[in-house]
Structure 1
Amino acid sequence: MTLSEYGAALRLTEVPDPKVGPSEVRIRVKAAGVNPVDWKLASGGLDPVMEVGFPLISGWDVAGIVSDVGADVPEFDVGDEVFGYIRKDWAQFGAYAELVTANVRMLARKPAALDWRQAAGLPLAGLTAHRSLRLARVSEGDTVLIHAAAGGVGSLGTQIAVAAGAKVIGTASPANHEFLADLGATPVEYGDGLVERVRGLAPGGIDAVLDFVGGGVAADSVGLLSDPSRLVSIADPQAAELGGHWAWVRPDADGLTELAALAESGDLTVHVAESYPLAEAGKAWEASRTGHTRGKIVLTVD
């Protein structure tokens, strides 16, 4: 799927097979994850900070089978099943394709416990949650408030925190409370009165806050913390001004391997909310733009 320019419609087109550079593998794509950053980049939203080439193939989350290896690649062989967050230093050749190349530092072996769609939905959201929890120094015995806990990043962050032995209080609409409870969290409705509701659920205090939604919840929540450095937001740069962290994520093979181990142990799964064939990537973007998806949206490639 390509775009000819910022704001153009996605089109299914033929392009040459990607060349396999040193330290890269070529992957026959089985599924690609859909993230809000995909359509934001395609609209020009990242133009100030990232070089973008056209025609543009979107997508940074991939799961597939290694079909070729470049020079200096002892890590993988043809036929290996892999998954990864394949964001390069510029954007042009992404995962919404039958074939894509990626540096080995962006990949790990796909966990057998996840199917192709689940594996494709894990990398970016999982690494984002993983990094956020580390920045917040979450460990066993902590009480953590996770905003948007039922979303793609939040549902994974909830599971990772629970696996680490933390107590999670997760904000969500009432329709998602049972889903959060099944993940091991204590659900709480967002909106007016949230801080008071959280204090009622955690009279001993909150140790860390993870903001995966923005909209001012970081500022609202920092007062719950005795240490504001344990506030982390992926959606509000004001978190840094409040004494916390504004977090981005980068490709991380070691982090992917840790996520894969959690999946294999049964402590982490990926809830796929919706799945579309590659040719319907535009519909997947429409669903993503609603901002109300429980779990992940993915594309499948035949």
Structure 2
Amino acid sequence: MSRRIFSSLFFLTLFFCGSAMAVNCQRAVTPLENTICNNDNLHWLDSTLSVIYNQAILRENVEHIDKKYYEWEKLLEKCTSDACIERAYYAGISAISDTNRDFKWEGKWWNMLAPNMSGGVIQFSRNAQWSVTLDIRAWAGLNHDEFTAEARRLYGMLVVEKVVDTSNCKALLIPRKDDYLQVYSNTDWGCRLSMPTGVFLDGAYKLSDTDPRPKATLLSLGIFPDAALDDKFRSLVGADYQNFVDSANVYIYQNDIDNIGARVLSMWVQGAANSRTAIIMYTPKGEIWAGRISPVKGGGLELHYYSTDGNDQRKMPRTLAAWKLRFLDE
């Protein structure tokens, strides 16, 4: 019995030692915690450090990361001003990220984590001893924008105090030793207010002259669960397959109102949700129904309908018929 209790306590100790929690601002009690919670920039850095720590312990030795973390905590606890706390966070983020200090701030970098039909590119246009100029292009479907930012070098990273023409949008660029450039922005504290809908800067960026991401398919996007169903859909819709992929900028599950045990996914393009949208419905038996709305050259919209049961729209399932009525009157 005592051995089981000791074993349980041992694993609980390991669990809590290997977890750095962001400051809980609902329960802030110390002057340091309250200072962090009352400063949006410090709150963002605290949340970012927590994310970086929990990612680090998944790929590195926990004991090694914890040692760095506890050394950083001692540094932080000595701070009694916003400036000191901010600098301590940057030092901790750099140390726990194991920043690549030999990184060359040049070239074109592509966001590998951006969704289908979305993306981000960072290009360094000026590289000085203490600062770097960034040209940023980001998009989500048809929503897009371009930004410029001046960044200062700090602990091997780049710190963007404010992206030009934004509402307090800050960013942190961390060069990793696996040749990726990790970007964190203060999304919930400023950047989201300045970006077009769906557009974000955060992600892991890779150096390339052209977009290095593999071409998306409905299978790779998770819309179809296996290659057999994806191939069946390709045969059904023919050349229109790519248009369905291009409609899947945002895609979500939808209710099967026919109650036939089908899986239903609706999808659309950010910035054109009412004119570039599609729906796919399929059953475990391999039955498929699909519709796609697209603009017509002279104005208006048209429906492209497909079914393994024939393309007669009068036999369209109620689920697709209800979806169609959102965009077309007949």
Normalised by the size of structure 2, how large is the TM-score? 0.24
| Bigger radius of gyration among the two | 2
Normalised by the size of structure 1, how large is the TM-score? 0.26
